[in-house]
């Protein structure tokens, strides 16, 4: 298996530090609001890696944190008139719900930064003792960037460029160098008001954002993790600062591989609330898109390629997932043919091998999907040529290959769970669909639209195809909430 290491700027062979066990730390959401689809582009890549490592037989210790104390969470709590934990915990739970909705494997743990304050205070103390940090007059503690000779190694930013991007407020923060960053921030009135303050040897205050991930990763996974993941926006300064403080404290590499996921754009534009293209998973579900389609749309591009997220792309993802479901159903239900059918069984194994080899090549999902669609075409062609029949051996091999691929993609069972309509409802829905088709044939579009809206309100999505109208339930458990 080969992965692209952002630090070394090369794709190289990956082997875990401990054979059979892989440690991964992924920077998780800042829980001041609902995670949006840009966040979930990275988190789906986390789950893809998690699944592929598991598929290869590794035990995976995968930690994804919650940043529940920082400027954004404190400001959000203050604006809402809540204590910090009262504001952040619902958003942490919402993330877990959304992750389950999108079919994520459970991560090993989701540490909250606020649960590691004593460890953070001790970590800062070590850096002060080693001469890598200093206390300012206001009680804040800063990391001394000039004390770490390798600063800038990950991002490739020179001293002047890094200084230019640093947040500088010399009068307010008394930094010795403009690149220095806060490890411990002296308490402000708003911090006290929302309960975001803790005692320390330097006075009451709270941790800096960069410090939090270093301490949680080290506490749960050890000084050196196999893989550290995050969105490309975290490469500088967050991950650069993590490396500086962790390696200064431990004298060991923080991570053996750094994986960064490219940005997501919506309709070819940067996502923002002002442009009206800022979306959460929940909003897309309420529009009628099902979890498997959202998941497919987020994972179908290579993680190091920019992804353009569109409604047309979601519609295409819906159709592609349905095509896979149709094939699996066709294979499961096809009558048995005589003979061994060894050729198709062999080809199914070859496609599964090609799928795995593509993911071994730095999680090359587009190439893996090419192997999947090659299997789909070959199976459909074989069924068409054999009058819809297939030998038992071929059937087992094809279903096994599909299951092996979906163990990593995670869409088929997710789609089946969300698109089925319970038996007692089948006849009523079919009657409504047939009535709509008759109305369309009579050019009674008002009636046709009314039926579509009635079914949509119950969570039934209609797809008009040349073969007729296909209907599926796009959310398990019944109608959407108002």
Distance CA 21, CA 25 (A): 13
Q: What is the pLDDT of residues 392-413, one digit of tens each?
A: 999 999 999 999 999 999 999 9
* Long-range CB contact pairs, 194-199, < 8 A, 24+: 194/74, 194/77, 194/78, 194/82, 194/83, 194/84, 194/87, 195/83, 195/84, 195/85, 196/69, 196/73, 196/74, 196/77, 196/84, 198/117, 198/121
Helices (H) and strands (E) in the chain, counts: 18, 15
pLDDT score, position 482 = 23
Residue 89: count of CB within 10 angstroms of its CB = 14
**pTM of this prediction?**
0.86
Q: What is the pLDDT of residues 36-54, one digit of tens each?
A: 999 999 999 999 999 999 9
The DSSP result for 118-148, as a single string, is HHHHHHHHHHHHTTSEEE-TTS-EEE-GGG-
Q: 285 near 478, Cβ under 8 Å? A: no
pLDDT score, position 472 = 67
Taking 70 as the pLDDT cut, the residues of the chain under it are 158-173, 274, 339-342, 419-426, 465-467, 472-482
């Amino acid at each position: 298996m080969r992965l692209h290491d952002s630090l070394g700027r090369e794709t190289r062979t990956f082997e875990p530090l401990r054979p059979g066990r892989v440690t991964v730390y992924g920077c998780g959401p800042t829980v001041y609001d609902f995670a949006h689809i840009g966040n979930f582009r990275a988190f789906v890549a986390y789950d893809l890696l998690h699944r592929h490592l598991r598929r290869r037989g590794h035990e995976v210790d995968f930690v994804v944190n919650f940043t529940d104390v920082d400027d954004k969470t404190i400001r959000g709590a203050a604006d809402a008139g809540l204590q910090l934990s009262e504001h952040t915990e619902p958003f942490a739970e919402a993330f877990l719900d959304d992750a389950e909705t999108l079919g994520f494997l459970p991560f090993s743990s989701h540490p909250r930064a606020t649960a590691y304050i004593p460890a953070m205070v001790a970590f800062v103390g070590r850096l002060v003792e080693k001469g890598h940090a200093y206390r300012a007059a206001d009680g804040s503690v800063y990391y001394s960037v000039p004390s770490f000779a390798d600063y800038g190694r990950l991002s490739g930013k020179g001293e002047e460029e890094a200084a230019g991007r640093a947040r500088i407020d010399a009068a307010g923060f008394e930094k010795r160098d403009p690149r220095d960053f806060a490890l411990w921030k002296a308490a402000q009135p708003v911090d006290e008001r929302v309960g975001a303050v803790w005692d320390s040897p330097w006075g009451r205050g709270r941790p800096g954002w960069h410090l939090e991930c270093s301490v949680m990763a080290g506490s749960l996974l050890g000084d050196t993790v196999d893989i550290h993941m995050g969105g490309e926006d975290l490469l500088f300064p967050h991950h650069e600062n993590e490396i500086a403080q962790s390696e200064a404290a431990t004298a060991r590499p923080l991570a053996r591989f750094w994986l960064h996921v490219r940005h997501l754009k919506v309709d070819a534009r940067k996502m923002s609330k002002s442009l009206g293209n800022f979306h959460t998973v929940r909003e897309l579900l309420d529009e009628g898109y099902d979890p498997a389609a959202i998941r497919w749309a987020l994972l179908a591009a290579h993680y190091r390629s920019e992804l353009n997220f569109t409604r047309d792309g979601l519609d295409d993802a819906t159709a592609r997932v349905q095509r896979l479901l149709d094939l699996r159903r066709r294979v499961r239900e096809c009558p048995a043919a005589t003979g061994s059918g060894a050729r198709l069984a062999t080809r199914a194994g070859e496609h599964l091998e090609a799928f795995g080899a593509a993911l071994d090549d730095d999680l090359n999902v587009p190439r893996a999907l090419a192997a999947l669609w090659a299997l789909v075409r070959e199976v459909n062609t074989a069924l068409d040529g054999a009058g819809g029949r297939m030998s038992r051996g071929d059937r087992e091999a094809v279903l096994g290959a599909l299951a092996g691929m979906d163990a990593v993609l995670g869409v088929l069972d997710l789609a089946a769970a969300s698109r089925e309509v319970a038996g007692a409802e089948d006849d009523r829905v079919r009657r409504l669909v047939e009535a709509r088709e008759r109305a369309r044939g009579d050019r009674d579009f008002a009636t046709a639209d009314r039926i579509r809206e009635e079914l949509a309100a119950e969570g039934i999505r209609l797809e008009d195809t040349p073969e007729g109208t296909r209907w599926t339930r796009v959310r398990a458990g019944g109608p959407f909430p108002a």
